[in-house]
Amino acid sequence: MSDENRKPLGVILAGGQATRMGGGDKGLLQIGGQSLLSHVVDRLSPQVDGLALNANGDPERFSDLTLPVLPDSIEGFAGPLAGVLAGLDWAADQGADSIVTAAADTPFFPRDLVARLQEAAAGQVHPLVLATTPRTGDEALKSGGGRRVNRHPTFGLWPVALRDDLRAALTDGLRKVVLWTDKHDGREALFQADPFDPFFNVNTPDDLDRARTLLEQV
């Protein structure tokens, strides 16, 4: 199997503070009789060669998942890039070349996420790709003719080879994902958002109700 087609390791990002849900772990909220995190595990695990969870605090609250729990190595809730770095460090210890990340509160992401990200990375020395969806309706109007896609920075393919560069950037205060990916000529993989955006994530109680409705459609 070529390097481009080899399955990467997977890392679920659950390091956020969930302020719009009143705090706590969004990934442990239930839809369809199981947690959001369990839905994410079910979708991502067949696509990767191994799986870990990036989360801060007491790892025992995730013990039922039987996954390695990776805390951020950068203090102060540095955002999703800190979770990516934790995943890259773990992957380096496993001898892997890359990881794919997914958010813990996004239960309907594509079942071909990894394959599509790898396809978009073909020919890159250091595969670095973010998932995107088309902007439609009001979003397209608000863009003013600018970017025609929404980038989903918690869903990406990341190279272990750039982990020290990422560590240095985070230490220097970088927090915005796309600033780092653009610096390294990151690419994009376009996913359709019909009948709904597959990267829909649960941020509010209303989102949780919508997720329960969408579960009946997938």
Q: Please identify which residue in the block is written with the tokens 């829909």.
A: 200
Q: Does residue 200 lie within any of the structural domains?
A: yes
Omega before 195 within 30 of 0, i.e. cis? yes
CA distance between the termini of the chain? 31
Given this model, what pLDDT does residue 83 score? 96
Domain that holds residue 76: 9-217
Kindly state the helix (H) or strand (E) to which residue 131 belongs, with its residue range: strand 129-134
pLDDT tens for residues 148-163?
899 999 999 999 999 9
Q: Does residue 162 lie within any of the structural domains?
A: yes
* Residue 204 belongs to domain with CATH number: 3.90.550.10
Q: Does residue 69 lie within any of the structural domains?
A: yes
Q: Does residue 46 lie within any of the structural domains?
A: yes
In terms of phi and psi (left: phi > 0; alpha: psi -120 to 50; beta: otherwise), the region of 189 is: beta
Q: Does residue 4 lie within any of the structural domains?
A: no
The domain tally of the chain equals 1
pLDDT tens for residues 43-66?
999 999 999 999 998 999 999 999
Question: Which stretches of the chain drop beneath a pLDDT of 70?
Answer: 1-5, 16-24, 137-147
Strand partners, 14: none
Q: Does residue 18 lie within any of the structural domains?
A: yes
CA distances from 14 to 11, 39, 91, 104, 142 (A): 9, 13, 17, 5, 30
Q: What is the pTM of this model?
A: 0.90
Q: Does residue 1 lie within any of the structural domains?
A: no
Q: What is the mean pLDDT of the chain?
A: 90
Lookup: tokens for 56:
């801060």
Q: Please identify which residue in the block is written with the tokens 């609250």.
A: 61
Whole-angstrom distance, CA of residue 57 vs CA of residue 40: 20
Given this model, what pLDDT does residue 82 score? 96
Q: Does residue 32 lie within any of the structural domains?
A: yes
CB 59 within 8 A of CB 48: no
